[in-house]
Structure 1
Amino acid sequence: MASGKILVTGAGGNLGGLTIDLLLEKVSPEKLAVITRDPSKLKRLVDQGVSVHKADYLDYDSLLSAFQGVDKIMFIGAHAFTDRIKQHFNVITAARQAGVKHVVYTSIQRREGSGVVLWDITESDTFTEQALRASGMAYTIMMQPSFLETFFLYFGAKALEDGVRMPFGKGKTAPVTRDDLAAANVAVLTQPGHENKTYKLSGDEAFSFSEIAQILGEVKGRKVSSENISEDEYLDFDFHGLENAPKQFPLFRLAWVKAMNNGDFEETTGELERLIGRKPTTFREYMKNNYPPV
């Protein structure tokens, strides 16, 4: 069990919020702290006795203040297109200056030696991993695949009616739920023996994009069409419900699709299952109960 104080960054986000809720089942509130840009949204944590600090990855002094007396940090990476390298450098440097002993970082899964480049993600992840290894602090790298909660963004929210229309490749992928990733975070934060290790947190069952229509058809009990389209067609495809997405999103999404088609997310390691002590939720199970998205 954890003995010192644990701090979770990004506590107002999905993965951070799930992680802190699971931590509260194992650690007393006075041993937990969080940082967020808007503490007013986390009154429920204040009411439970968790230390809630207003801090921003771009504000070094706010990080240094929040990290005082902290033993371990659950460091959830910044969003893409937000100067991730500067933000992550601030977090690592402030943690080291504050005397933090162990940083657990959420990185992106990728095949070793593949050279995959995911726009505004892989370069900053590589930088962050190297900075942590050189920091003198203990580290754990949690390499994550795509989230099942947002995986529909690759093939659209109306595939049951419109079919799966996207570029297909031979590569497979095994996305996971944020719930399962949060459980893995908690295991690493509260159990000994995870220092200076890297985990690839894939699901147990990998599939290719060309199999999605068949899987949806099976779990929904209906015929779902499928069409292999070009990358240019995919960039222009009208995905309903994404009208407010950032202008870079189509290219960003295509980069992920290409990486998965190339097999960069194909590895199924079993490490997530071993950390959480149960089978992770599969794509098939998740789609049966949660697709189409509300």
Structure 2
Amino acid sequence: MFWLFHKKTILFYLLFASVLFYLCTCNLQVNIHSFLFLFIMILVTGATGGLGHQTIDFLLTTTPASEIVAMVRDISKATDLIKRGVDVRQADYFDYPALVEAFRGIDKVLLVSAVAFTDRVRQHQNVIDAAKEAGVKHLFYTSIQRSSDFVMPQVTESDLATEAYLKASGLVYTILKNGYYFEGLGYLIGNQVPDGQILFPAGEGKIAFVTRTELAAATAALLTGEGHENQEYTLSGSQAYSFHDIAREFSTLAGRDITYENTEAASYIAQQVAAGLPEVVASFLAQWGEAAKHGMLAGTYHTVERLLGRKPTSLRDFLKATYFPGT
């Protein structure tokens, strides 16, 4: 009886070994590719920032924490990610050796673009060069929506330079041209319901707003999907709104008349400076008005809607949740 059991065990292992041999010879390429695809390592830079952190939040809903790496400048700010099992690595865009070390063993990198008023081009080039040296296979870059030829000195110029450098690097790339955050509306017109008038230098221009949360969800979907090699996507809302539209929605929600008046950039800057903003910041905010006026942010695309499987947040829903919570 023991011999019979032992014989069956041997036959089982022989059969198992035969199957493995078949997979490794007759279907070698397909199965090795499938096996390796199960262990794609994804690194997100700027992981303690809003977009980077939220992208990791969404990645964790579909991807094991062991396959996600967060790159940060200050590890003490990433304790929540560490507790969730994410590998946290310290590096700075200006520190090339640290970048190379952080990118070791990584397949895909999400380069969250550096903030304005820094040497963005140099930082981005460091990341691209380090990724190439470390053997990264695919780099995703968060650029800005450009539906017109309008150029913002602190944003568009460096994005164009980065995109050109990335395309020439030889790395597989995906460029994400992100729309203007709904959450950024408060910087432009204030965080309180307007008293009676919105003053902003956007003319009749429109913006295809999208929430940062929805951008993060779409970005995570692209990072974990296939078929995005050497592609460019504009991730904006599927509807564009003028500041007249914003005033009308405020009026409906507030139950009183609120209007929009286009103002000159100089007047807007002076108003913001009088309210306590540094002039350089006020000027930067005014540039977004000029960008809207010249159609840079008006293009509507359905990529976010397709990736989310639903329509993005509407203007009314955002205003209601942000300016009229609990109503």
Instruction: Tell me the TM-score normalised to structure 1 length.
Output: 0.93
Distance 1:266 1:178 in 2: 17
Q: 1:281 aligns with which of 287, 300, 313?
A: 313
1:186 aligns with 2:186: no
Secondary structure at the residue paired with 2:240?
Answer: coil
Q: Report matched runs for 1:2-81 at 5 Å.
A: 3-81=39-117
- Please list the CA deviations of residues 40-80 of structure 1 after superposition, one character each: whole Å capped at 9, or x if unmatched: 11112112221101110000011000000000001100000
Cα displacement (A) at 1:216? 1.0
Distance 1:2 1:142 in 2: 24
Distance 1:163 1:129 in 2: 39
Q: CA RMSD in A?
A: 1.8
Provide structure 2 residue ranges, at least 5 long, that are not aligned to the other structure: 1-36
Q: Report matched runs for 1:166-245 at 5 Å.
A: 166-238=200-272, 243=276, 245=277
Whether the 8 Å CA contact 2:179–2:297 is kept in 1: the answer is yes
Cα displacement (A) at 1:230? 2.0
Secondary structure at the residue paired with 1:161?
Answer: coil
* Paired AA for residue 115 in structure 1: D
1:154 aligns with 2:183: no
Cα displacement (A) at 1:100? 0.4
Q: Which has the higher contact order (CA 8 A, sep 6+)?
A: 1
Distance 2:135 2:278 in 1: 38
Whether the 8 Å CA contact 1:15–1:182 is kept in 2: the answer is yes
1:120 aligns with 2:150: no
Identity %: 43
Cα displacement (A) at 1:108? 0.5
Q: Which moved more, 1:7-16 or 1:257-266?
A: 257-266
Secondary structure at the residue paired with 1:237?
Answer: helix
Cross-structure match for 2:134? 98
Distance 2:134 2:221 in 1: 24
Distance 2:195 2:170 in 1: 54
- Please list the CA deviations of residues 134-170 of structure 1 after superposition, one character each: whole Å capped at 9, or x if unmatched: 1111111111121111212212234421520123423
Whether the 8 Å CA contact 2:233–2:303 is kept in 1: the answer is yes
Q: 2:173 aligns with which of 139, 154, 169?
A: 139
* Paired AA for residue 248 in structure 1: V
| Greater radius of gyration (CA) | 2
Cross-structure match for 2:26? none
Whether the 8 Å CA contact 2:91–2:99 is kept in 1: the answer is yes
**Cα separation, partners in 2 of 1:253 and 1:145, compared to 1, 3 Å:** same
How many correspondences in the alignment? 289
Whether the 8 Å CA contact 1:140–1:198 is kept in 2: the answer is yes
Whether the 8 Å CA contact 1:116–1:264 is kept in 2: the answer is yes
Which structure shows the higher helix fraction?
2
